[in-house]
Amino acid sequence: MKVPCKHCKTVNTLKISEHNIGKKVRFKCANPVCHNLNQVFVSEEDLSGVRTVTLHEDKGMVLGALLEVLPNPNTVSAIFHVEEGLNIVGRASSSKKIEISIKTTDRDMSREHCQIEGRRNKYDSMSYTIEDLDSKNGVYINGIKLEAADKVFLEGNDIIELGNTSLLFLLKYKSS
Ligand SMILES: [Zn+2]
């Protein structure tokens, strides 16, 4: 399958196999000056035919993003706006103010667990990357763990797991 990089638009050719179906596959952009980490959802048709994936920008301009905290016995439900620039995400504490401060007694969530960066492109559309801030228990996106130096593009409806708490990442598109 052919997938354009979300950062530089270079079209990457991916080799996929049966075990990738129904899952997201991560790949590093082949453009040597880019090397950004991308991810793509693989469906059954991708094994038989050659699919060319289009960028999410084709759905329309991304105006912004929301992070919805899914409640559990330790964690209160909440919705946060993800701002342009850096947003540190973690367990709320009285000693340190962070942008996305989650009210939880989940001790497996670090106080500064991960960071989401919102960037605006020249067309005024937003894109978002996430990276682990050296957290105790790591960051999982749709069940796949982020490696230490990974900076992964988030897509709408991605599930971010911090400790035992799940967050739903939502993109807001400009309605055409
Ligand atoms: Zn690239």
Taking residues 33-40, what's their average pLDDT? 84
Q: Please indicate, yes or no, whether residues 78 and 137 belong to a single structural domain of this protein.
A: yes
Domain residue limits at 31: 2-54
pLDDT of 141 strictly over 80: yes
Is pLDDT above 60 for 94?
Answer: yes
Q: Which of 52, 174, 70, 175 has the alpha carbon at shortest distance from 124?
A: 174
Residues 9, 73 within the same domain: no
The answer to whether residues 75 and 155 belong to one domain is: yes
Distance 128 CA to ligand 1 centre (A): 14
Cα 135 from Cα 170, distance rounded (Å): 23
Is the CB of residue 122 less than 8 Å from the CB of residue 146? Answer: no
Q: What angle do CA 174, 29, 58 make, to 5 degrees?
A: 20
Q: Tell how far the Cα of 45 is from the centroid of ligand 1, in angstroms.
A: 25
Q: What angle do CA 145, 146, 148 make, to 5 degrees?
A: 130
Q: How far is the CA of 72 from the centre of ligand 1 (A)?
A: 37
Is residue 88 located within the same domain as residue 143?
yes
Number of domains the chain is built from: 2
Torsion of CA 107, 115, 34, 43, to 10 degrees: 60
Q: What CATH number has the domain bearing residue 75?
A: 2.60.200.20
Quick one: 126 and 151 in the same domain?
A: yes
pTM summary value: 0.72
Asked if 102 and 161 count as a contact pair (C-beta separation under 8 A), the reply is no
For 2-24, give the secondary structure using H, E and C: EEECCCCCCEEECCCCHHHCCCE
Q: How confident is the model at residue 58 (pLDDT cuts 50, 70, 90)?
A: low
Q: What is the pLDDT of residue 64?
A: 96
- Residue 5 CA to ligand 1 center (angstroms) comes to 4
Question: Taking ligand 1, which is a single-atom ion, which protein residues have CB atoms under 5 Å away?
Answer: 5, 7-8, 10, 29, 31, 34, 36
The alpha carbon of 29 and the centre of ligand 1 are apart by a number of angstroms equal to 5
Q: Are residues 46 and 127 in the same domain?
A: no
* Claim to verify: residue 105 and residue 147 sit in the same structural domain: yes
| 36 Cα to the center of ligand 1, angstroms | 5
CB atoms within 10 A of CB 164: 15
Same domain, 161 and 90: yes
User: Distance from the CA of 7 to the center of ligand 1, in angstroms?
Assistant: 5
Q: Largest Cα–Cα distance in the chain?
A: 55
Predicted confidence at residue 139, as pLDDT, reads 96
In this structure, the answer to whether residues 36 and 82 fall within a common structural domain is no
- Tokens 């020249």 identify what position? 122
Judgement on whether residues 70 and 149 belong to the same structural domain of the protein? yes
End-of-domain residue from the set 21, 37, 54: 54
Based on the fold, state whether residues 72 and 132 are members of the same structural domain. Answer: yes
Residue 54: band (very low, low, confident or very high) from pLDDT cuts 50, 70, 90: low
pLDDT of residue 176: 54
Q: Looking at the structure, do residues 141 and 116 belong to the same domain, yes or no?
A: yes
Mean pLDDT, residues 24-33: 88
Alpha helices for the chain (secondary structure H) = 45-48
